[in-house]
Chains A and B, each alone.
Chain A
Amino acid sequence: MTANPLPPYAAMLGLRRQGDAMVMPFQALLIGSPGRLHGGSVAGLMEIAANLAVRDALAGEAATLKPINVTVDYLREGAMEDTSAQAFIQRMGRRVANVRVEAWQTDRARLIAAARMNILILREAGEAAG
């Protein structure tokens, strides 16, 4: 039995699922300025967490997902530690999913970043892709 292989970018970030969260274990290539994670690596984790949450909500229905936009608020410095992200679907529409994402490190209550992401859903059944 083989697990679903991650696409290259997610594999580079070293992502793995842990319960309802995605975990990005610390590794040197995530660093931006000395001693801190690059904001882009945290954003990458959050985007993938949002995408997977929408994929889960589709429960196997065939659809193509496309990112529309993302807004990331950086709340605290990302330390050289493992980072987790959890996505919450605010609204699962026919065409668009509105998703909120939280990222934290050791303390779940102390977020290092929060994001909102809109994802376009092109369902293969039902409404034709526009």
Chain B
Amino acid sequence: MTDKPALSEDERLRRYVDRFMSAVPHLQALGIGFRAMGDRWVELQMPYAPQLVAYPETGVIASGTIFSLMDSAAGFSVLVARGKMEPHATLDLRCDYLRPAEPGKTVVGRAECYKMTRRVAFTRGIAHDGDPDHPIAHVAGTFMFTGAA
């Protein structure tokens, strides 16, 4: 038996998120995967794929896929900010579609949980297709903690 280095809490959480995501059917269907995370932020990615397309004549993907990406990123940012896998529910999510995603490019969704109260988490984030300073979408979402108080 070889000694394995003890995993840090962060690494354990990261692996948990990764495993959790690969078991979510809708994320699999859209090809959404884990990219990076910090204290209270998460980055997910959605590589360009034919099933995401809404406008076959241009190859532009559906805004609904970006909504799914950002809902997921925002939800995961709440999990990492809490540092525990307690349940929550999306209360609302607003998405501004700043410009179409460029066909062929991977869309990155970055969200942060910037404020938590006892019952509610507030998140914000952007989606971009390569340059975070040139985003394709901006989101703001709130989540309710649904576990026992």
Chain A: residues with CB nearer than 8 A to chain B?
7-10, 12, 28-33, 37-41, 43-45, 47-48, 66-74, 77
Chain B residues packing against A (C-beta within 8 Å) = 24-30, 50-56, 61-65, 67-69, 71-72, 87, 89-97, 100
Assess whether B92 is in contact with A73, with CB atoms less than 8 Å apart: yes
Which 8 pairs show the lowest CB-CB distances between chains A and B?
A: A40-B68, A44-B64, A38-B26, A9-B62, A29-B29, A71-B94, A31-B25, A69-B96
Given contacts A9-B53, A12-B29, contact A38 B68 (CB under 8 A): yes
A77 touching B89 by the CB < 8 A rule?
yes
Which one of A37, A72, A73 has the greatest number of beta carbons of chain B within 10 Å?
A: A72
The one of A37, A39, A48 that contacts B93, using a Cβ cutoff of 8 Å: A39
Given known A-B contacts A12-B51, A73-B92, A43 and B68 have beta carbons under 8 A apart: yes
| Closest residue of B by beta carbon distance from A47 | B64
